[in-house]
């Protein structure tokens, strides 16, 4: 057997939506759980809302992207700087080799290269660190391609640092990639705190029509039951009543509004509209005495 089917039979005057929502709230038909949204914000512990949590996560991701981009930019600029030095060395390869060979040591060679060819200390060190065989084997076309590629990378990284929208775009792309690799179907729903819910929170706000008959029958219908009529229309029968009974009160309201009932004994009772059972258009409704604690011979006026 796979799963279990539960059938709950209700009286005709019971709102099934309210019953179902109460089952969700008070039984294990639907499980809910809370999340401790405690996090460090600027070094201080704070309990965050879901919106705040997402905000600070995005801000953290922005910081990660910016720091990573700066690191990659510094690395690319350093590589480009060295390649610029190698291009200069390639233009004067014989003189560079002669300068290195005539120098007394590595430090002297680095200094002589810097003075003679206007190289930085880093560029000169990169040339000195290369074996002469490798230095003479440098290919200009390969160096030029590497340099042009680095220029494109540097331009892109600078554009990212200058554009907040590009940073957001990178975050979105990376999250989509994570979702593609590791995501699966959501198994839970994010909802409001049900522990603080009132029964009314489970009932939709709807426009309704309330009818009360002379003999004390009341019912609730959706306002949509009564469609607009054009000239020559046949209309809609509001309700069926017993013989000699007739509709005495008819008004519109919403499911969340109170309705006041004044009685022949000078008392007043109140009900929310959603507490009045919904009935069909032709149904007679529910006796008011079943909803209000009326005394004998007390009537709604």
Q: What is the pLDDT of residue 232?
A: 54
Q: Is residue 191 in some structural domain? A: no
Domain count, the chain: 2
Whether residue 57 lies inside any domain: the answer is yes
Q: Please check whether residue 195 lies inside any domain of the structure.
A: no
- Asked if the structure places residue 18 within a domain, the reply is no
Judge whether 165 lies within some domain: yes
Tokens of 15: 């709102």
Residue 188 lies in a domain: no
pLDDT digits (tens, 9 = 90+) for 197-235: 666 767 888 899 999 998 889 999 888 877 655 555 555
Residues 156 and 53 in one domain: yes
**How high is the pLDDT of residue 47?**
93
Cα 80 from chain centre: 42
Asked whether residue 178 falls in the same domain as residue 215, the answer is no
**CA-closest candidate to residue 154, choices 213, 85, 233, 75:** 75
32 or 116, higher pLDDT? 116
- What CATH code is carried by the domain that includes residue 97? 1.10.268.10
Domain housing 249: 202-226+237-290
Q: Which helix (H) or strand (E) holds 301?
A: none
pLDDT attached to residue 191: 66
| Shared domain check, 215 and 88 | no
What does the pLDDT read at residue 198?
Answer: 66
Domain membership of residue 112 (yes or no) is yes
Q: Which residue has the tokens 């914000």?
A: 41
pTM of the model: 0.54
Quickly count: other Cβ atoms within 10 Å of residue 278's Cβ: 22
Residue 25 lies in a domain: no
- On whether both 171 and 49 belong to a single domain, the answer is yes
Q: Are residues 47 and 166 in the same domain?
A: yes
The yes-or-no verdict on residue 265 having pLDDT over 60 is: yes
172 and 252 share one domain? no
Residues 53 and 123 in one domain: yes
The verdict on 206 and 177 lying in the same domain is no
Q: What is the pLDDT of residues 4-18, one digit of tens each?
A: 888 888 877 677 777
**Same domain (yes/no): 148, 253:** no
User: Mind giving me the DSSP string for 153-202?
Assistant: HHHHHHHHHH-HHHHHHHHHHHHHHHHHHH-----S-----GGG--GGGG
Please tell me the distance from the alpha carbon of residue 114 to that of residue 120, in angstroms, as a whole number. 6
Residues 160 and 215 in one domain: no
Co-location of 245 and 129 in the same domain: no
Q: Is the pLDDT of residue 148 over 60?
A: yes
| pLDDT computed for residue 253 by the predictor | 93
Q: Give yes or no: residues 68 and 175 share one domain.
A: yes
Res 144 pLDDT > 80: yes
pLDDT at 260: 93
């Amino acid at each position: 057997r796979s799963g279990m089917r539960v059938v709950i039979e209700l009286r005709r005057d019971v709102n099934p939506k309210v019953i179902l929502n109460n089952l969700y709230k008070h039984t294990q038909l639907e499980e809910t759980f809370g999340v401790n949204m405690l996090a460090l914000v600027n070094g201080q512990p704070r309990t965050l809302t879901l919106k705040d949590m997402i905000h600070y996560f995005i801000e953290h991701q922005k910081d990660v992207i910016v720091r990573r981009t700066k690191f990659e930019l510094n690395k690319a600029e350093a590589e480009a700087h060295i390649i610029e030095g190698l291009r200069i060395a390639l233009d004067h390869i014989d003189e560079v080799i002669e300068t290195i060979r005539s120098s007394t040591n590595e430090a002297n060679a680095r200094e002589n290269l810097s003075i003679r060819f206007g190289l930085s200390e880093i560029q000169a060190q990169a040339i000195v660190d290369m074996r002469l065989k490798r230095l003479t084997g440098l290919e200009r076309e390969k160096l030029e391609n590497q340099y042009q590629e680095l220029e494109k990378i540097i331009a892109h990284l600078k554009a990212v640092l200058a554009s907040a929208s590009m940073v957001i775009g990178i975050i979105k792309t990376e999250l989509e990639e994570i979702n593609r690799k590791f995501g699966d179907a959501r198994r839970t729903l994010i909802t409001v705190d049900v522990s603080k819910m009132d029964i009314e929170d489970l009932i939709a706000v709807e426009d309704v029509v309330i009818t009360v008959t002379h003999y004390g029958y009341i019912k609730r219908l959706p306002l949509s039951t009564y469609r607009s009529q054009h000239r020559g229309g046949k209309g809609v029968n509001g309700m069926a009543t017993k013989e000699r009974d007739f509709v005495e009160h008819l008004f519109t309201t919403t499911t969340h509004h109170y309705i006041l009932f004044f009685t022949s004994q000078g008392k007043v009772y109140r009900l929310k509209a959603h507490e009045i059972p919904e009935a069909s258009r032709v149904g007679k409704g529910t006796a008011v005495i079943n909803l209000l604690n009326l005394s004998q011979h007390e009537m709604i006026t």
